[in-house]
Amino acid sequence: MSTIAHRVYDDRTPLTLDRSDLPSRPDHETVLLVSPTHFAVRYRINPYMGGRVVPGRALDQWMNVRRAYERYANRVRIVDPDEIWPASDGAVPDVPVSLLPDLVFAANLAVPTADGGGVVLAQMATDERAGEPQHFQRWALDDGYEVESLSTTAAFEGTGDAIWHPGRRLLWGGYGVRTERAAYDELAALLDTPVVTLELSDPHYYHLDVCFAPLTEDTALIVPEAFTAAGRARIDALFDRVIEVPEHEATGGLACNCHCVDDDHVLLASGNPETERRLQAAGFTPVPLDTGEFQKAGGSVCCLSLLLG
């Protein structure tokens, strides 16, 4: 096992592993959600961003997403952004939560360790979101999680780009738009895991979680147009079954930003009938949820959640 433990696979490193070589990993059973108190669209850092968020509607949609997670996930933790600031030690974060409208997208704040008892904090690629991880760090420490940070300055946007393979000790690493490839060398060591990278270049697929959703240990939902041929080959090598999202539902309805929390129910944005049909044909149960207000910021169900142990 030790020879593959920290390897980072990319286009220059032939994939020499088989899923059965990878140690199994317990599921991350806690879903963390951040209340949408300060959610708004105030800048444009991805091509989807635009329009005016209606706060009441955003809160209703977020409550429905929350209820769906409460129904299908084992544990749900809600973070109220106003309750993590100021901190008990009196230190004042650089940017108040009221000026961080994307903080609701919990996926980007960190990646959990393999057993979920710790996190590696994100280092946002954009100035607009740079202040967010500091708030999450405060909450995570308070709640008893071990918190680590990268020693390099490479951009790293948490589980938006770094996604654990369900049930196995393997991390999928998207890079090229937000997260930088260099982050994965250190993440592989910190998390003691092999990393299979996937290069992204289309700004519509600015995070891996808008074009790649590992539903179960053997099945992934992907947007084929997002990947290079070599990247696609790595996905095909490690999943037995790959379901494709049609491009118009991926970019028009963020259909791939979905979450399968129990190997059966797939929480996804409503308005994506073809993706629902394909999920159903593969034996999954789609749970459509209106995330229209969050799509004005380029996010949907998966972006709103962070898995922890």
Minimum CB distance to ligand ARG smaller for 17 or for 260? 260
Residue recorded with tokens 């240990």: 217
In the complex, minimum distance from the CB of residue 86 to ligand ARG, in angstroms, rounded to a whole number: 25
Minimum CB distance to ligand ARG smaller for 22 or for 305? 305
Closest residue by Cα to residue 170 from 156, 183, 184:
184
Q: Known catalytic residues?
A: 207, 303
Q: Tokens in use for 19?
A: 């899923």
Count of beta carbons in the 10 Å neighbourhood of residue 135: 23
In the complex, minimum distance from the CB of residue 13 to ligand ARG, in angstroms, rounded to a whole number: 26
Q: Tokens in use for 186?
A: 């250190």
Rule CB under 6 A: which residues touch ligand ARG? 45-46, 49, 102, 105, 107-108, 129, 160, 207, 209-210, 297-299, 303
Minimum CB distance to ligand ARG smaller for 15 or for 130? 130
Q: Distance (Å, rounded) from C-alpha 15 to C-alpha 237? A: 8
Q: Are 270 and 282 in contact (CB under 8 A)?
A: no
Minimum CB distance to ligand ARG smaller for 22 or for 292? 292
Minimum CB distance to ligand ARG smaller for 132 or for 186? 132
In the complex, minimum distance from the CB of residue 136 to ligand ARG, in angstroms, rounded to a whole number: 14
Phi, psi of 108 (to 5 degrees): -85, -5
